[in-house]
Structure 1
Amino acid sequence: MQVEPDRDASDALLEQIHQALENATPLRIQGSNSKAFLGREVAGEVLDTRAHRGIVHYDPTELVITARAGTPLSDVLAALDACGQMLPCEPPSFGSEATVGGMIATGLSGPRRPWVGAVRDFVLGTRLITGSGKVLRLGGEVMKNVAGYDVSRLLVGSFGCLGVLTEVSLKVLPKPRHCLSISLDLPPAQALDTLTEWGQQPLPISAAAHDGQRLYVRLEGGEGSVTAAHQRLGGEPLDSAFWAALNEQRLAFFDEGLPLWRLSLPNNLGPLTLPAEQLIDWAGAQRWLKTDAPDIQSLAQALGGHATCFTPGASDTPFQPLAPALLRYHRQLKAQLDPQGLFNPGRMYAEL
């Protein structure tokens, strides 16, 4: 495959948006389409961001990287890795061509999320083309510029419904000096109780999952603290590739079959009787279910969380329905940034 050169294609994106405004033509924003399975189907002219690519600025000493939206996520990760740094939130790719813009639009975070934060916690600033054809610069490249009503972070998880992201600045962190993964033979209920107990102690845990048979834990930090934690917790050494397989949904649990649901729940719920085979992640705060049972979103809401369907076509409302007050806020924000409803209409909700 021919590799596209790094270049600024923001003028071309802006021109396409102006033409869409003149013709009242909706636009379907996409990068590599690696996460197109999420959300509702969108009808419209394709606006492809991949020509707008490249790392604009990277200062390892300042722990900040700025990249255009169409930049392959793998390019950013490689640049960080060469300097011993990382995106702490471990965004999944679901494909080798996943883009930085897609990472922001979907807002998905990996196994480390409960211990370091989500994608939105590392967004410092963005550049955005609104549905009125205006170019906005939001936030900045240092933490002191990120305060108050931060629109940049509202873009995370907005699935392109608010505007065309052209550039993003991200806070990065040094990679851990030492990493060790272990597995323990614990049933789910005992594993969750144990994780609750461990969570109250100064242990260098950065990931915890349970597949119904065994508890999997990742320890990260200085070699001494990791070694001491391993001696204290016990467990058998585990290939660290497990976490990438979990994050990219390559484990056997995710094989084709029943619809896949992601439940985001309070982390103190403990064992749950759910109508499905489940995989527990984030020490219990994220539960993956394989089920065709009805009313999964109602169940999640009753538990104080929300549910998202990851299987295309399995649900007319793949995202948790919004309460009337929240829907009103979403509509008001959409009206401010995309008054003609140009971008990804209906991708998240039919009302938007």
Structure 2
Amino acid sequence: MSSTAPDTPSDLIDQVKAAAADRSPLRIVGGDTKAFYGKPTSGDTLSTSGWQGISSHEPTELVVTVKAGTPLVELEAALAEKGQCLPFEPPRFGAASTIGGVVAAGLAGPARAAAGGVRDYVLGLQFINGKGEWLTFGGQVMKNVAGYDVSRVMAGSLGTLGVITDISLKVLPLPTAEATLVFEMGAAQALEQLHHWGGQPLPINASCWVKDASQADAPDLLFVRLRGAVAAVEAACERMAKEARGQRMDNAQAGPDWAACRDQTLPFFQPPAPDQCLWRLSLPQTAPVLKLPYAQLIEWQGAQRWLWAPASAASEIRGAAASAKGHATLFRAGADGAPGVSRFDQQSAVIQTITQRLRAEFDPAGIFNPGRMG
């Protein structure tokens, strides 16, 4: 297998055209920090890591345009210098993570429930389709696939529709104030409390319920992060701490903890055994505690739940998620690669039809990350 990091879109286009002519699969990567997500793919590696840089940043307009191979840490540092940020807190999974990979994976961090997801901040993009055409959203693509917001479709497509080269993103100012409260309570009580607070005008930005499985006597803890105006954060801290007997954490301690939650470096995210898989459950926020015999971590005010279980538990886990009107993703496979187990829930017939139409339009030769979404 060959591996290249072209410096210009022309180089990328040449590689795509050659692959399309031979119907040879391409494995599209940026920093290759999310290779675990989705099924492994084969083929020559097409890397966007050589296409880097911030093309334009208009702080007063809250817009940044950046090349896909730009490291996420560099983009975030540049935004921070102007007092701005990516509100959806994309997981980094390592310093090599690129902004193109962020959009392609469509993953968001702890603030997702309050701030929105990746596709909510993508204003436009350029990408290379399977014919080797370099397209800009709003032009040729929309004529071919009328009615689809292409920038949103590309978010979370895992490189199966095209090679993203440039992205325009909406950014927001850094929060004026931030505070984190911690409460000792079980999962059911934590969900009930979060639902209660969710109906009130409180500046809740993120939540995480977790139990340290490495310690038998570890308490069940709910962490809640508040962000917003100073007065609003201070008033909410006083009210919530009194109402549920919580303690306020020092931001110097809470900040790294939230970063560890975002990047999955908390103790919970260490595999308890080689055969264990990390499962991601997407549920309605109001879903109750699922009766599953596995350690869990709950985020997004109840809408995202993580658990460790063997691949053989797929039917049990997906059945429990479906009963709560949600779905389950095998996010990280165990040491054996979880053969025979799909990474994503089966799509409905309608979604399958739409997906097939999009792939036929964008990648007629089927060369981009084939099988990744299996």
- TM-score, with normalisation over the residues of structure 1? 0.93
SS of the residue 1:183 aligns to: strand
- d(CA) in 1 for partners of 2:148 and 2:24? 31
Q: What CA distance in whole angstroms lies between the structure 2 residues aligned with 1:24 and 1:186?
A: 56
Structure 2 CA distance for aligned equivalents of residues 285 and 187 of structure 1: 17
Worse-matched range after superposition: 317-326 or 198-207: 317-326
What is the letter of the counterpart of residue 43 of structure 1?
S
Deviation of 1:148 after TM superposition, in Å, equals 5.8
- State the secondary structure of the residue aligned to 2:296: strand
**CA-CA distance at 1:298 after TM superposition:** 3.0
Deviations 1:210-236 (A, max 9, x none): 104011000111111111111101122
Q: Alpha-carbon deviation of 1:97? A: 0.8
**Alignment partner of 1:219: what SS?**
strand
Q: CA deviation at 1:247?
A: 1.1
8 A Cα contact 1:29 1:48, kept in partner: yes
Contact 1:126 1:139 in 2 (8 A): no
Partner residue, 2:3: none
Which of 213, 220, 233 lines up with 1:226 in the alignment? 233
Which one of 255, 274, 288 corresponds to residue 240 of structure 1?
255
SS in 2 for 1:274: coil
The answer as to whether partners of 1:73 and 1:99 remain within 8 angstroms in 2 is yes
Say if 2:78 is the partner of 1:79. yes
Deviation, structure 1 residue 274: 1.8
Taking the TM superposition and a 5 Å limit, the aligned residue runs for 1:1-352 are 9-139=8-138, 149-212=148-211, 213-234=220-241, 235-238=246-249, 239-256=254-271, 257=273, 258-292=276-310, 293-295=313-315, 296-312=317-333, 313-314=337-338, 316-349=341-374
Deviates more, 1:47-56 or 1:229-238: 229-238
Q: Structure 1 counterpart of 2:356, which letter?
A: R
Structure 2 SS opposite 1:208 = strand
- Contact 2:23 2:366 (C-alpha < 8 Å) held by counterparts: no
Question: Separation in 1 of the partners of 2:239 and 2:228?
Answer: 15
Aligned to 1:3: none
CA contact (8 A) 1:124 1:139 kept: no
In structure 2, C-alpha distance between the alignment counterparts of 1:253 and 1:109, rounded to whole Å: 18
1:209, distance to aligned residue in structure 2 (A): 1.2
How many residue pairs get aligned? The number is 338
Amino acid at match of 2:34: K
| Percent identity over paired residues | 46
Contact 2:90–2:109 (CA<8 Å) still a contact in 1?
yes
In the TM superposition, residue 303 of structure 1 has moved relative to its aligned partner by 1.7
Letter in 2 for 1:337: F
Contact map agreement 2:290 2:320 (CA 8 A) in 1: no
Report if the CA contact (8 A) 2:91-2:263 is conserved. yes
Mapped partners of 2:265, 2:74: distance in 1: 22
Q: 1:270 to 1:224 in 2, by over 3 A?
A: same
Query: SS where residue 262 of structure 1 aligns?
Result: strand
Structure 1 residue 291 displacement after superposition = 1.1
Give 5+ residue unaligned stretches, structure 1.
1-6, 141-146
Once the 2 structures are TM-superposed, how far is the Cα of residue 149 of structure 1 from its aligned partner?
2.7
Q: Can you give the 5+ residue segments of structure 2 that lack an aligned partner in the other structure?
A: 1-5, 140-145, 212-219
Distance 2:364 2:320 in 1: 34
Over residues 88-110 of structure 1, what are the superposed CA-to-partner deviations in whole Å (9 max), with x where a residue is unaligned? 00000101110011101100001
Q: Do the aligned partners of 1:180 and 1:240 also contact (CA within 8 Å) in 2?
A: no
Alpha-carbon distance in 2 for matches of 1:116, 1:125: 19
SS in 2 for 1:346: coil
CA contact (8 A) 1:91 1:108 kept: yes
Partner Cα separation in structure 2 for residue 337 and residue 155 of structure 1? 11
SS of 1:240's partner is: helix
Structure 2 residue matching 1:115: 3-state secondary structure? helix
Greater than 3 Å deviation, 4+ residue runs: none
Displacement after TM superposition at 1:294 (Å):
3.4
What's the CA shift string for 1:277-327, capped at 9, x where partnerless? 111111110000111223122332222111111223125311111122221
Matching residue's letter, 1:275: P
Paired residue type of 1:348? M
Deviation at 1:139, TM superposition (A): 4.6
CA distance in 1, matches of 2:258, 2:180: 9
Contact 2:279 2:307 in 1 (8 A): yes
- Asked if structure 2 preserves the Cα contact closer than 8 Å seen for 1:139 and 1:152, the reply is no
Tell me how far apart the structure 2 counterparts of residues 265 and 85 of structure 1 sit (CA, whole Å).
30
For residues 8-60 of structure 1, what are the alpha-carbon distances to aligned partners after superposition, in whole Å with 9 as ceiling and x for unaligned?
Answer: 61111011111112222111100111000011111111101101111111110
Distance 1:21 1:149, change over 3 A: closer
Partner SS for 1:38:
coil
